[in-house]
Every structure is written in C-alpha cells, then in structure tokens.
C-alpha cells in the first residue's frame, strides 16, 4: 500500500493501521483505484488539499491568459491571431471547468477569487515572467504547455472524479496548444538570422522558469507524500521534471536550438539527461510575490474583478426579479 510505504519513509502520512475505520475504508478505496465523488465522505485534509491544488490550477489557467493575451493584437498574421485567440479562450475554459470542480468541494468561486486577490492562494510561478517578443508565444506553447501536459496527463487518473474528468478535455486542448507553440518555433528557426536569434533568446529565458513549473525538488515538496498517498498527485515533482527534460531536449535539437545548460548530458545508466537545477532562490522569491510581473498580473485580475462587478450585480438583480415574479404568480 502506498500509504504504508510513505509512512516508512517518515514523511508524516498515516499508515492504514493508524487510521480510524472510516479513513481506512477511504484509503483502501483509493488504493484500489476507485474514484471519490462530491457527496462521498472524505477526510477534511483531502478536501482542503484538493481545493488548494485545483484552485491554484484554476487560477493559473486564468492568470495564464495574460502573458499570451498580450500578443493577440500584435500577432504577425491573421491566421496566427485567430489561433492565439482560440488558445487563450481555451485557457479561460480550463479555468472554468476547474473552478466548477473545486466548487463541488464546498468552496465558492467568489471565495477562491478573494483568496487569490488577497495572496492566500497561488497561481503558477511561470506566469510572472514577461512575454517580450513573438518568439515567446512559441516558447510558451512549446515549453509551458509542454510542461503542463507532462504534469496534467497523469492527473486524468487522480482519485477525485470531477478533477480527473475535467483533466481529460483540458489535456486534449493542451496538446493542440503545445503543437501550435512548436509550429511557431519551427517557423522562427527557418526564418531570418534575426528570427532564429529571437527563438533562441525565448528558449534561454523560458527554460528554467519552465523547469520550476513542476514545483520544488522532492526534498522540499511539502505536499507530495500525502497528495500521492491520496492520488491527488500521481508523480513527484522531480520525476515529472526529468520526463519533461528527456522529452524536450530532442525537440530543441530538431529545432537547431541550444538548451541554456552547459551541464546537460545523456546519462546512459539512468536512461535520461543530467541537467542543471533551476535557481531555487529565484523560484521562492517569485512565490513570495517578487517576480518580474507578479504585481501586474495580480492587479490585472483585481481590476477585471472590479470592472465586472456591475455584470454580477445585474445578473443577481435579474434573478431576484424573476424569482419574485414567479412567487407572485403562484
């Protein structure tokens, strides 16, 4: 049993023997590959941890629209503009499925927004970096969506039904996003010397922030042990980061671009690449709110929330009016 294995590593996860009968039945259902649905009993920690992860994921999708939205008006062709617009709309859709999944756990969307705006809930560190050139749209699609797929494909098998089901559609769309990013990179590297340089520069700036998307190294991951025992997470941060590097290096070679890591080398024994870790002090600094764009991203979300107040109020007033009219007619 995974729960028992974790206990033996001393990471503070209860073994089956330490659980009360209800918790034990819950864990056994998860260990057997069963799904947990909204009305089922669940430990409070499971519920809270899921709200944290799904809520953070939903916020990431919504905040993630900003760095790409930045380029819609400046896409180089009408076709590229239409594709980018569709991609950014998809991200909004992902956010909405995920907010719905989190709402089934007893939190409202308003509460999640409030927590985001007050800095009590996070969104992915990657969106605190600026998108400076058109090549960044390629790098974001290729690397950021590539990292997202690596992380999210296993989440289709998470133990919480609504989350797992939301991930199925999200993953299909992310795969299109990744291809459109790679396609932009292909175009850039086949273009002029200046365009190829732009593509290399985008890779240089997005490589380490993309590696950070998978979270801190396993030794510093607070939630992994319990989340994996509950199948809220299916792999550790380092496992997924390694898979991402192994998948991406040949793609960079195909593009004729250089990964900005002098230590990068194939390790026959482990069957994967050795690579340099990101600067973790930068990662934790971005999490504290000190990345290049944290302030702008959060402000944009707060402004959107405030600007939309009249729509929410109008809809609530309309619903109240309809309810009153229905009551009067009865």
Determine if 178 is a binding residue for ligand BYC (CB under 6 A).
no
Ordered alpha helix ranges (H), 142-223: 145-152, 161-189, 193-212
Binding to ligand BYC (CB under 6 A) within 281-300 occurs at 287
* Total of residues contacting ligand BYC (CB under 6 A): 28
184 class by beta-carbon count within 10 Å (0-12 exposed, 13-18 middle, 19+ buried): buried
Site string for ligand BYC, 43-82 (x = CB under 6 A): ---------xx--xx--xx--x------------------
* 66 or 189: CB nearest ligand BYC: 66
Of the listed pieces 77-85, 117-125, 256-264, 310-318, which binds ligand BYC according to CB under 6 A? 117-125
Q: Which helix (H) or strand (E) holds 247?
A: helix 237-255
318 class by beta-carbon count within 10 Å (0-12 exposed, 13-18 middle, 19+ buried): exposed
CB of 61 to ligand BYC, least distance (A): 5
Residue 273, Ramachandran bin (φ over 0: left; ψ between -120 and 50: alpha; else beta): beta
Specify whether the CB–CB gap between 63 and 127 falls below 8 A.
yes
The correct pick among 14, 205, 231, 233 for binding ligand BYC (CB under 6 A) is: 233
Determine if 90 is a binding residue for ligand BYC (CB under 6 A).
no
How far is 302 from 299, CA to CA, in rounded Å?
5
Site string for ligand BYC, 127-166 (x = CB under 6 A): -----------------xx--x--x---------------
Q: Which residue has the tokens 């299109």?
A: 176
Specify whether the CB–CB gap between 254 and 92 falls below 8 A.
no
* 24 or 127: CB nearest ligand BYC: 127
Q: Where are the beta strands (DSSP E) in the chain?
A: 265-267, 272-274
* 57 or 205: CB nearest ligand BYC: 57
Which positions touch ligand BYC (CB under 6 A)? Answer: 52-53, 56-57, 60-61, 64, 91, 122, 124-125, 144-145, 148, 151, 212-216, 221-224, 227, 233, 237, 287
């Amino acid at each position: 049993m995974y729960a028992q294995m974790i206990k033996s590593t001393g990471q503070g996860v209860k073994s089956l023997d330490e659980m009360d009968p209800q918790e034990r039945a819950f864990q056994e259902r998860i260990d057997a590959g069963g799904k947990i649905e909204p009305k089922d009993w669940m430990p409070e920690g499971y519920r809270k941890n899921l709200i944290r992860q799904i809520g953070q994921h939903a916020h990431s999708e919504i905040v993630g629209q900003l760095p790409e939205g930045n380029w819609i008006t400046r896409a180089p062709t009408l076709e590229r503009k239409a594709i980018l617009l569709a991609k950014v709309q998809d991200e909004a859709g992902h956010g909405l499925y995920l907010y719905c999944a989190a709402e089934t756990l007893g939190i409202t969307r308003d509460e999640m927004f409030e927590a985001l705006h007050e800095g009590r809930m996070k969104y992915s560190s990657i969106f605190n970096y600026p998108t400076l050139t058109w090549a960044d749209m390629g790098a974001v699609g290729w690397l950021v969506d590539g990292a997202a797929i690596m992380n999210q494909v296993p989440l289709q098998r998470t133990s919480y039904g609504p989350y797992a089901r939301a991930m199925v559609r999200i993953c299909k769309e992310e795969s299109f996003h990744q291809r459109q990013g790679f396609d932009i990179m292909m175009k850039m590297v086949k273009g002029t010397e200046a365009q190829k340089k732009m593509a290399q520069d985008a890779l240089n700036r997005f490589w380490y922030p993309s590696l950070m998307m998978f979270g801190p190294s396993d030794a510093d991951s607070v939630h992994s042990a319990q989340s994996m025992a509950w199948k809220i997470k299916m792999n550790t941060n380092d496992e997924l980061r390694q898979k991402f590097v192994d998948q991406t290096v040949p793609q960079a070679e195909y593009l004729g671009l250089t990964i900005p890591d002098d230590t990068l080398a194939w390790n026959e024994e482990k069957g994967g690449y050795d690579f340099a870790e990101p600067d973790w002090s930068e990662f934790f600094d971005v999490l504290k709110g000190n990345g290049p764009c944290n302030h702008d991203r959060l402000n944009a979300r707060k402004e959107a929330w405030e600007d939309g107040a009249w729509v929410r109020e109008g809809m609530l007033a309309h619903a109240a009016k309809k309810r009153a009219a229905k009551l009067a007619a009865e």
